[in-house]
């Protein structure tokens, strides 16, 4: 753990994890988007690639900024919702960083993991905005 999480601000022992889904149990005075009892999901590490400092989604409770969460869709379980943030971010950022845009071809190997179906399900108009 010490080697893996040496760049975090969290004291050891620490709870790893970025993707999260759960129920809001307490809100701060400035929170406007959520209330106690809301089902939410998100990625609690806003700058994971450049600044990997926030971890803890595998803890029983975690405190997180409001802007990093969204209301969990009713048709998704907590497990399904927690699996989405990183896959969606990767499906968007990968082609974007590679310079993909509408009209170009992209080869996706595998097709059976969590990332590939997410990439395939992005609307073509969304992909057209990748620059």
As given in the structure block, the two tokens for residue 89 are 């971010």
State which residues form the domain around 43: 1-74
Q: Is the pTM of this model over 0.95?
A: no
Is 8 in the same domain as 70? yes
As given in the structure block, the two tokens for residue 105 are 């071809």
State the DSSP code for 57.
T
State the DSSP code for 34.
-
C-alpha to C-alpha distance for 21 and 26, rounded to whole angstroms: 15
**What pairs with residue 21 in β-bridges?**
41
C-alpha to C-alpha distance for 43 and 88, rounded to whole angstroms: 10
- The residue written with tokens 């802007």 in the block is 67
Number of domains into which the chain is organized: 2
C-alpha to C-alpha distance for 121 and 113, rounded to whole angstroms: 13
- Residue 26 confidence (pLDDT): 96
Mean pLDDT by 10 residues, the chain (131 residues): 50 75 95 97 72 70 89 94 83 75 71 65 54 41
- The residue written with tokens 């057209």 in the block is 128
- Residue 84 confidence (pLDDT): 86
Is 70 in the same domain as 87? no
Please answer whether residues 19 and 90 qualify as being in contact, where contact means their C-beta atoms are separated by less than 8 angstroms: no
Handedness of CA 8, 9, 14, 18 (dihedral sign): negative
Is 68 in the same domain as 91? no
End position of a domain, from candidates 35, 54, 74: 74
């Amino acid at each position: 753990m010490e080697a893996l999480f040496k760049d975090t601000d969290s004291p050891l022992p620490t709870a790893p994890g970025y993707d999260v889904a759960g129920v809001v149990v307490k809100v701060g005075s400035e929170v406007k988007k959520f209330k106690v009892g809301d089902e939410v999901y998100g990625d609690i590490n806003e700058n994971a690639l450049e600044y990997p400092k926030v971890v803890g989604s595998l803890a029983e409770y975690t405190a997180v900024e409001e802007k990093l969460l969204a209301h969990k869709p009713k048709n998704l379980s907590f497990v399904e919702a927690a699996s989405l943030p990183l896959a969606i971010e990767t499906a968007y950022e990968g082609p974007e960083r590679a310079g993909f845009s509408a009209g170009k071809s992209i080869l996706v190997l595998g097709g059976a993991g969590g990332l590939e179906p997410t990439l395939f399900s992005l609307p073509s108009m969304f992909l057209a905005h990748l620059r």
